[in-house]
Homo-oligomer: A and B are copies of this chain.
């Protein structure tokens, strides 16, 4: 269908413009790129691959794929409090990818670079006999020794989550036709949360010095808070009724408590789950107000009981609910494959 595209021409036409303002990208015409880290800063690095048919539906639009690939990486460093500075892009392109697709893909990246700050530093393009795959490594600055780790929570900290939880899992169900909702606005809102995650870059940067620990919510709230608990050696109790839902998610969930509970295991929200000492409450409220993103207190950390699950979910009466293990894992047999 499409004529073969020369790799060098492809890079010059579609990707070199994305590197034009990146110091150290050298116009994508060298073997490597260069990052100068300012004195007093550390460089935070994360890498994530998204594969068609596993992490996103095969028929997703080029721009949505590009945004998703970049934003899931932005989310990783946002949860660490880092300000995005650059990224590398490695593409595995099946045959059938044409120039218009690449133009739409690169165009979406250009918009997100403006919105979130990182510039293209380098990359790699290859063909593949398999599905489209996109690997991005992202780089951000954070003040020396101030990266927000998973391991810093102590018993008695508050637990918070940004934004709202479960929208992306509901959105994927809508996209796949597994869930019907009467209101088109709700359907679009939820699908949009899956297709176009909003990494909490600016909110994350405000959490430096406030949060004791944090992770981004990619595997599901229970799983990712569980990672924080495990790394920190604490447990956590969260109250189901306090977990923030969007209006569209409320419309989908109605009063179905099991469904509501299942949202705690829904991935792909790309919110930040964090812990912080009680002394940080007013500063966290300020960060939420200043960045326009809700930061909702949903529970607290407790002394670890190694016989128990790391995260316990309570109903309004304080009774434990069975939320299962929580979290889904992007790995082979366990992977939910959109058809």
- The answer to whether B331 touches A45 (Cβ under 8 A) is no
Chain B residues in 8 Å Cβ range of A32: 44-46, 76-77, 79-80, 82, 147
- The answer to whether B133 touches A131 (Cβ under 8 A) is no
Within the complex, the shortest CB–CB distance from A126 to chain B, in Å, comes to: 5
Task: Tell me the complex Cα distance, A230–B80, Å.
Answer: 41
Q: 28 A–B contact pairs at CB < 8 A?
A: A4-B333, A6-B331, A8-B329, A26-B151, A29-B151, A30-B215, A30-B231, A31-B77, A32-B44, A32-B45, A33-B46, A34-B44, A35-B42, A39-B39, A43-B43, A47-B90, A47-B122, A47-B137, A49-B90, A51-B127, A54-B126, A54-B128, A92-B133, A93-B332, A124-B135, A127-B332, A127-B335, A128-B133
Residue of B nearest to A138 (CB): B32
> Which chain A residues (35-86) contact chain B, with CB distance < 8 Å?
35-37, 39, 42-49, 51, 53-55, 76-77, 79-80, 82
Chain B residues in 8 Å Cβ range of A304: none
Chain B residues in 8 Å Cβ range of A42: 24, 34-36
Counting chain A residues whose Cβ lies within 8 A of the other chain, the interface size class is 35 or more
Q: A43-B37, A44-B34 are in contact. Are A331 and B128 (CB under 8 A)?
A: no
**In the complex, A334 has a CB within 8 A of chain B:** yes
Task: Tell me the complex Cα distance, A49–B133, Å.
Answer: 11
**In the complex, A95 has a CB within 8 A of chain B:** yes
* Chain A positions 216 through 254: 1 when the CB is less than 8 Å from some CB of chain B, otherwise 0: 100000000001001100000000000000000000000
Q: A126-B54, A133-B130 are in contact. Are A36 and B88 (CB under 8 A)?
A: no
Interface of A is mostly: mixed
**In the complex, A197 has a CB within 8 A of chain B:** no
Within the complex, the shortest CB–CB distance from A228 to chain B, in Å, comes to: 10
**In the complex, A129 has a CB within 8 A of chain B:** yes
* Chain A positions 308 through 339: 1 when the CB is less than 8 Å from some CB of chain B, otherwise 0: 00000000000000000000011111110000
